[in-house]
Structures are given as C-alpha cells and as structure tokens.
Structure 1
Amino acid sequence: MTNEISLSYRRYALSLLLAVNLLNYIDRQVLFAVFPLIKIDLAISDTALGFLGSAFMLSYLMIAPLFGWLGDHWSRVKLASSGLVVWSLATALAGFAPGYRTLLAARATVGVGEASFGTVSPGLLSDFFPKEQRGRVLSWFYLAIPVGSALGYLLGGVLGHRFGWHAAFLMVGLPGLLLAVPIWLLRTPPRGGESAPAAAPEEEVKPSAHYGTLAKNRSFVWNTIAMATMTFAIGGLAQWIPSFLNRVHGLDVEKGNTMFGAATVVAGILGTLVGGWLGDRWQKKSSKGYLLVSGWGFLIGTPFAAWAILAHDLTACMTAIFVAEFFLFLNTGPLNTVLVNVTPPAIRAMAFAVNIFFIHALGDAISPSILGWLSDHWGLRDALLVTPAMMALAGIFCFVCGRYIERDMRLAEKA
C-alpha cells in the first residue's frame, strides 16, 4: 500500500519522473526549433518538413498499445527506463543524419522510446499518491510539457543558430542516459495505490477481461476525443509557431525560439499549476470539476490563439500567445486525472496507451503535415487559423464528457 512508502520517497519518485518527462519534451520539441534551418539545409517543402513531426507521432501512437499491454503485465519502471535509453540515443543519432530519410528514421525511433515512458508513467505516479491529491501531483508531473517544451525551443534555437541543427540534436539527446539507472531501480507501489485490494495479489488480476469496457466507458471516449482535438491544435501550433515568427515577423531562429520558449515556460507553469489547483478544488464540489476547468480553459483561450495568428504587431502577437497558452495549459493535469479516475487500476496502462493512440492519430500525428500542406497552398498564417477552431471543439467535448463522469467514476472504483 502507498502508506508503506514514505512521503519523502514519494516526492523523490515524483521528482525523478518529472525530470525524465522534462527530457521527454526537450527531445521532442527541439526539432521544431530548428525547422527553419532544416528547411534551408535540406531544401524541402513545408509538407515534408511537417512530416518529420508526424513521423515521430505515427510511431509513438502505433507502438503505444503494445507498451500499454506490457505495462499491465510487466515492470513499469523497466519499461520507462528502456524507453528513456531508446529515445535519448535516437535523438543524439539525429545529430549525425546526413539527409532527410535518416533524420526521418531517427525521429520515428524517438517516438518508439517515448511511447514506452508515456504509457506507464502517469498510472505509476498516480499509484504513489492518494486519489484526492492526483490532480495536483499530475499537474506537477505535466509541468514538463511547458518547461520541457520551452527548453527544447530555447536550446534548439541557441544551439542550432550557433552550431547548426546537427549539434542541437546531439547535445540535448545524451543527458537522458544519466537517468536510466535511477528509473530502473525505482520502487513501485501496488497497482491502484491506496485503492488496491488488500487481499488480492497482483498476479490474480486479469486486465484482458476489462479491455472491452473502455469502448463502453463514455467518459473515457469523450475525454479522449476532447484531448485529440486539443492535441491537433496544440501540436500544430507548437511545431509551426517558431517558423511563423521567422517568416511573418522576421525573427531569426535564436531570437524567435527564445521569445516563444520564454512565453511558453511562464504561461505553461502558471496554467498547469493553476489548472491542477482549480481542478482539485472544483472536483470537491462537483464530479465535473476537472472537466469544467479544462472546458472553460479551451473556450477562453480560443480567441487569443486567433489573435496571436492575425496580429501584425510582434508585441501583440507574443502577448496573445502568452494568454492563449496559459488557458490551454489549464487542462494538463485535470484531463489526465479524469483518465485515471474513470479507468480500473488493472488496465490503466492500457487505457493510457489507447488514449495516446487516438489523441495522436487524430491530433498531432496529422496536424503538422496538414498544416504544412495548407501552408504550401494558402500561406502559413492562413493555415494556422485552423487551430483555434479545434480548440473550441475541445472545450465543447469536455462539457459533453461531464454528462457521464459521475457514473463512470463509480464503476471504476468498483472494478
């Protein structure tokens, strides 16, 4: 039980998993920081450039179900550690890529490694803490998204501008190898944490008997749809905003990524922490609390995202980006906490794997290429206007999900 693990060790586990997740997003986002440099060096279209991001997500979502199954049957810490080694080496090896095809293969391999960590880490971390603290704990864990993304932009921009895009990949990839052993040796709580049955040994749990319930779990389905539309929007913006600042506002790679990274890290930290705090607070008053925070965050952020794209003044653009990102990051902890709360402990790794598959298959696995194709035909500014509409849809889907959340949370607790 989690009460047999000391508070200090739980905090250590949170810190370690957060550190790995930071590297996860640094290695993921560094590519987009050097998009302008790769485009010039390899002389490729925006469609081909966008497919570099899509290749990562395609391999990520295709392999995630396998790691989800393994996560419910095998050691989660060994899966997380192995994935860290794979994606760190693949990121570093991208620094030696002589052309487009080898760079594409390296980025696809990064997706395989990150899928291993991404499917098992949220459920693993949740099991260290009581249910009523999960919103805040997962918000701390998902601080890695804005902070890691910002560091990816900053490091990619500075290193790429000064030493070239090959050096940027090499220098951000290698540090991940240092955390592989601590993750491998991490103690693990029982699946389900404090909600785990005291008398039922883990080997008696048969997750396969429950997999079919995910399709019938309406909260899981609508939450996943909301996250997919959000991922389409955020994935497209994350990958193309550095190029947008370069082309539309005339900023070089270092300056553009520094400004975008600074806005992302501040807005992301504030939004993620406020979202976790608000989510836990509202959840005490209503079973829809997490979804209300996320839904309103999406809807309020939508006009600011449109303003950021349409603004001709750089100051107005960056101000709008900051506000939009703040409201977008409100959802980070709450929506992932909803996934934990509406799925039985025995199949949480698989539930996250299924969620990962669909949010990326319908989201940022396709949005970079779609926006790249639209950019080739319409121009980048007009192409990016697709993203605010998707954000508004995500907010609506959150409110639809709220209709079923109370029932599905009760069923998950009984399973």
Structure 2
Amino acid sequence: MADYSASAVRPITEPLPIGRESAAAPSCLPKEQRAPWPWQSTWPFAMLMVVSIFNYLDRSLLGLALPAIKAEMGVSDTALGLVSGVAFIVIYSLMGLPIAWAADRFNRRTIISIGLAFWSAVTLATGWVTNIWQLAFARFCLGAGEASSTAPANSMIADLFHPTRRPLALAIYGIAATISHIVLFPIAGWIAETYGWRAMFIAAGVPGIVAALVFRLTVREPARTAPRPAHSRSPIAAIKTDVRALLANRCYAWMLLGMTFMGSNIWATGSWTPTFFQRVHGLTMAEAATIIGPSRGFLGAAGILLGGLLVDRLRKSQLRWRVGIPALACLAIGPAELLFLLGEETAIWVLGFAGASFFTLLHQGPIYAAVVNVVAPDQRALAIAMLLLGGGLVGNIIGPTAVGILNDVLAADFGQSAIRYSLLLIAITPLCAGACFWQASRLYVRTANEEG
C-alpha cells in the first residue's frame, strides 16, 4: 500500500506571507510556470471526496423523505422546516468554529475520520426514530458530526496542492455533491419508494462507517505549509482574535456575506425541491429523486468544473475575475429559479431547473480558493468554518425554515401550490450573493496588489 504519511506528502511550496499566495495563483502565472498536478496527493484527495459525498448524501436524505414523514407523524411544514433546517444547522455551524480552530492546530485526518463514523452512525439510527422529537435530535447529532468535514478538508487540500492548483482541486472537490446526486440520490429514492423511508437511512449509514475506517487507515496527515499557531492563548480567546482579524479583511467579509445568501438558496433548495415536485407536479419520491439526482448532478458538475477551469486559466491582468466569475454565475441563478418555480409548461420549468442546476454551485470552488489566498495560512480552516456558519446558520433561517413557515401561512389561499410562492426566496437570495461577490472582486484586486 502506498505511503501517504506526512513524510511522503511534502509541501509543494514554502509558505508565503499572507497575500503572496494570491499573487502566485494560477491566474497570475504563465502556463509554463504553473505547478504540475501532485499525483502523490491523489489518494488522500480522493478519500476526502468520498467523505464529502457521504456528507452531502446524509444531510439530503431528509428532504426526500419529508412528505412521507409528514403523513406518518402528522406534523406541520413549519415543524418539518425547523427539523430539516435549524435542528441540523445550529449545531453544524456553531461546532464548525471550534473544530476548525482545532484543525488548524491538530491532526485533521483524525478529526475527519471520527466525524464521519459518528454522523454515519446517526444516519443509521435515524431509520428507527418514532416521533418528531427523536428526528430533531437525530438531525442535531448529524449536524455535530458533519461539522468535522468541510473546514478541515479544505485545510488539508490547501496543503496537498500548490496555490496554482488549488482552484481546480477545490472545484473538483466540489463535485462530491454532484456525484452524490447522480449516483446515490436516485438509489436512495428507489429504496425509500420500495422499502420505506427508514430503510433509506439505514442503507446510507452502513457504508459511511466503512468509509470512515478506510479513511483512518489509509490517509495520513499532510505536512503543513505554515507552522501551527502557538498555544499561548486559550482557545476561546484565540478564536475571538482570529474572527476579528478575518472580519477586518473587507474582501473576505464580502465573500462571507455572499456565501450566506447562497447558503439560504442551497439549503432551501435541498430541503424543499423534492416536496415541490411531489406537490406541484405530482411525482413520487422515486420519480423526484430520479429527476433531481442526475439533473443537479451532471449539470452541477459541469458548472463546478467550468468555474474551476475558467479561474485556473485567468491571467494576472484578470485577477478580479477570480471572484467576478462566481458573481456573474449567482446573478444568473435568479431568473433560472423564476422559470423553474412559475413555469407552467414542462419545457419552461425544465429549462429553469437545468439553468439553476448548472449555475448554483459554480461559485464554490473559486470562492473557497480565493478565501484561502486572502487569509493567513493558519486561519484557513477557521475562515472556511465562518463561511459555513454564515451560509449554514443564517442561510437556514432565511432558507428552509422560512419556506416551511410561508408554506403554512400561504396554504389557506394556495393549497398545495403554496410552496411555489414560498420558494421564490431561492430566486432572490442569489441576486444578493452576486452583488456581494462583485464587490469582493474589486477588493480582491486591491488586496492582492497591496499585499503582493
């Protein structure tokens, strides 16, 4: 078996002062000066993608099962919105900060493997819940476990790849969500339709536990490109100081706000799109999963890869487009969502759904790459965790929870079609995100020039 220990995976480059990695990014270098793809990093990177696939799958299953759970447990859409959104994301977002702080200082491989094993066990246990309170507790525990994944993984990827390869690497990493939709979501829908929604959770939990063991045994902690922060301060004091420093970075602050708006879109879409298909278009769980999975998967993957490839080929004179391209992608989502939600003809709403699927995740790889380039190396995991806090916690408050409340409020006038108008939120928030990213793109240039 190949050795992926810290000694085998050397830093690709010496650590650069904050801001100088931005100046050395792929957009700034001629093709012949870019670093080659580090093949010794491929196995750890592939396993990180496997972890992310289970991350997205396990959190998405509840959205597919909401109509069946509503019928079985007799609860309101408001309650379902709170369980699918707030119960998960509060702990997910808040736990992300201390876990990210730990990931900047301790073994990230261990943190991720323990987290995957825990949340997979929780997914398995969800198949035996009997009431809404048990389901809420399961979602709460799921959020605690999944908080261990994204920020530490992004930090590991930053150390596995040269700055000139990070945008493409992070774009490929983002495809994990689409792989989950393409391959596993339709299977989950078939299991739910054939054997019941509980069997779907059980079937998803077992392989996640196996993957956690494989990750722990075959992946080693990569050598860091920056020294670990000193432990002279208490964790709480250190986190407060680092958070203040991140928020003082105006470019990062605008990207954080933009990710918050996009989080509301992504979480609301993931929670309520299956229900929209079932209520408005009369589809079964299996039919909804078959449409959502491949559409979001293939088109989402195409958008993610396009974003990564476009940014990877930018020149130094086009530096602002590292963030400007995500801004334009977000601005394109709003009209697409309107066609999807309000279109009566099949061709119209299919076109809207396809457009939204293509553009929704295009921003993630470039934005994550931009973030790790404008913050200090020892604050990368914390910076990503704050993006997850904004996009997760705040995004859920104005996302799935708000949609659930509006469903109940509008049901008296619109019946089952109320969800069509509640989901108009997912057409508004991407426009706000696009405006934030556009402002960040202007500051990105200035930050790179001043610090590079």
TM range (shorter): over 0.9
Residue 426 of structure 2 is matched in structure 1 by 387
Q: Distance in 2 between matches of 1:51 and 1:241?
A: 16
Q: Please, what TM-score do these two structures have when normalized by structure 2?
A: 0.85
Query: 1:71 corresponds to which letter in structure 2?
Result: A
Paired residue secondary structure (1:272): helix
Q: What amino acid is the match of 1:10?
A: S
Which of 45, 56, 64 is equivalent to 1:25? Answer: 56
**Equivalent residue number for residue 330 of structure 1:** 362
Counterpart of 1:361 in structure 2 is 393
Structure 1, unaligned runs of 5 or more: none
Name the Cα RMSD after superposition: 2.1
- 1:147 matched residue in structure 2: 179
- The secondary structure found in structure 2 opposite 1:220 is helix
Is 2:427 the counterpart of 1:396? no
Equivalent of 1:191 in 224, 246, 251: 224
How many angstroms does 1:34 deviate by?
1.2
Letter in 1 for 2:220: R
The answer to whether 1:80 aligns with 2:112 is yes
Q: 1:45 aligns with which of 72, 76, 85?
A: 76
AA of the residue aligned to 1:95: G
Deviation at 1:6, TM superposition (A): 9.7
Residue in 2 that maps onto 1:344: 376
Listed one character per residue, the Cα deviations across residues 33-87 of structure 1 (whole Å, up to 9, x for unaligned) are: 1111111111111111111221111110121111011112211111111110111
Report the Cα offset of residue 184 of structure 1.
Answer: 2.6
| Match runs of 1:13-412 below 5 Å | 13-54=44-85, 55-151=87-183, 153-185=185-217, 186-192=219-225, 196=226, 202=228, 208=238, 210-282=242-314, 284-378=316-410, 379-409=418-448
SS in 2 for 1:127: helix
* Contact preservation (8 Å) 1:276, 1:334: yes
- Name the CA distance, whole Å, in 2 between partners of 1:279 and 1:91: 36
Work out the CA distance in 2 between the residues paired with 1:145 and 1:370.
24
Q: Which residue of 1 aligns with 2:4?
A: none
Q: 1:203 to 1:334 in 2, by over 3 A?
A: closer
How big is each residue's C-alpha offset from its partner over 1:234-259, in whole Å with a ceiling of 9 and x where there is no partner? 21122111111101111111111211
| Residues 156/34 of structure 1: CA separation in 2 closer, same or farther (3 Å cut) | farther
Match of 2:11 in 1: 2
| TM-score for the superposition, normalised by structure 1 | 0.92
Alignment CA distance shift 1:76-1:399 (3 Å): same
Unaligned segments of structure 2, at least 5 residues? 1-9, 14-35, 411-417
Question: Aligned pair count?
Answer: 406
Q: Aligned-pair distance for 1:202?
A: 3.8
Task: Render the CA deviation track for 1:244-280: whole Å, top value 9, x for unaligned.
Answer: 1101111111111211111111111101111100122
Q: Check conservation: 2:229, 2:378, Cα contact below 8 A.
A: no
Per-residue deviation, residues 93-126 of structure 1 (Å, max 9, x unmatched): 0001111111111111111111011221111112
Distance 1:365 1:60 in 2: 13
Query: What's the CA shift for 1:285?
Result: 3.8
Secondary structure at 1:403's aligned position in 2?
helix
1:33 corresponds to which letter in structure 2?
L
Q: 1:52 to 1:410 in 2, by over 3 A?
A: farther
How far residue 365 of structure 1 moved from its aligned partner, in angstroms, is: 4.8
Offset of 1:204 from its aligned partner? 5.2
Cα deviation code 1:293-319 (max 9, x no counterpart): 101111122111110000113343222
Paired residues of 1:34 and 1:156 also in contact (CA < 8 A): no
The percent of aligned pairs where both chains have the same amino acid is 28
Conserved? CA contact 2:47–2:215, under 8 Å: yes
Decide which moves more: 6-15 or 258-267: 6-15
Question: 1:29 and 1:412 mapped to 2: Cα distance?
Answer: 40
Could you tell me how far apart the structure 2 residues matched to 1:270 and 1:49 are? 32
Work out the CA distance in 2 between the residues paired with 1:34 and 1:94. Answer: 12
